[in-house]
Amino acid sequence: MPTLSQMRLKEAEEERTSTKQRLGRLMEQLLKEKEEKRALHAKDEERELAYRKKLEEEEAKIRLDAQKKAEDDQRLKILEKEKQLESALKETEDLRRKLQQGSQQLQGEAFELAFESLLATQYAHDKILPVGKGIKGGDIIQEVWDAKGNYVGKILWELKNTKTWGPSWIDKLKNDKRTINADEAVLITEILPPDMKTAGWKDNVWVTRHDFVIPLADTLRAKLIQLFYVKNSVQGKDKKMEILYSYLSGSEFRHRVEAIVEAFSNMQAEIEKEKRYFSNKWARDEKNIRQVIDNTYGMHGDFKGIIGSALAQIKGLDTLELDDGEA
């Protein structure tokens, strides 16, 4: 039978064992709780990192959107400024062109007034009549009157103030000359045709520079006055001959002849154009007919080689061949 001390030792051992087991379980529980806390802490850190990352992404997106909006706003402002600048440049160019046109027009009008005054001063007996804007008939009409008060003829003046020569000016002035039934027509310009130096006669119209105007005007007036006295010298002849002579020597007859000659020249040019067209057309038609005839002969020869004498004679083929041979 165990003694009391053995029993106490046994109880103490059992209590130590129990305590050790409790401590073991407690340690396990503590370790488990520690692991759980560590896992929770790790999850919290992961969530915090994810939140920070998401926050940084949102901030970056906001900054990018703000930057893009700022760039778009800046681009719109730049485009608006460029548009305003372009509009301002266009308005400036339009204004410059209008000022230039106005300056040229004023220069032309000033020269026209100065020339009109010059003619009135130089030829006191003549009537200097400006042609209104938008009215056909050049710029200035000079009615020539001699010292005795006789009307002897009419000179039409056309003034140009440009930097290039215009070939169409001549035809316009000729038409204006006929419209007002002028005896002479003069085109004043500083830019002359390539084949002219100071003044000259071009297609029934006088062309001159500004500094040669008065000598030319003197010459034309003298010519008109002489023609007037020549016409008057035949007044003693038969009335019909006088009328016929006056008509044939007058500007109206000359204008009509000039118009007829121009119309005839245009008709002749059209006829020449039509002749060239039909010549080419006939040559093409003759070539096509030649091909038809040659192919017809060839086809007939092929059939005759295949069929032989049984091939019926084609009426007119011999005649066609004979005609072609004669041609």
Ordered mean pLDDT values, 10 residues apiece, the chain (327 residues) = 74 80 81 83 82 83 83 81 76 61 50 82 89 63 91 91 82 88 90 82 86 86 86 62 65 67 67 81 80 71 62 60 46
Domain chopping of the chain, boundaries: 124-249, 269-324
List all residues 6 or more positions away from 213 whose beta carbon is below 8 Å from its beta carbon: 115, 118, 186, 188
What is the structure's pLDDT at 142? 92
| Dist. CA 219–CA 212, nearest whole Å | 11
Give the rounded distance of the alpha carbon of 174 from its chain centre. Answer: 29
- How far is the CA of 257 from the CAs of 153, 178, 231, 308, in angstroms? 19, 11, 20, 74
SS3 124: coil
Neighbouring C-beta atoms of residue 315, cutoff 10 Å: 7
pLDDT at 288: 79
pLDDT of residue 248: 63
* Residue 310, pLDDT score: 57
DSSP string, 132-192: PTT-SS-SEEEEEE-TTS-EEEEEEEEE---SS--THHHHHHHHHHHHTT-SEEEEE-SS-
Query: Can you tell me the distance from the alpha carbon of 198 to that of 209, in angstroms, rounded to the nearest whole number?
Result: 6
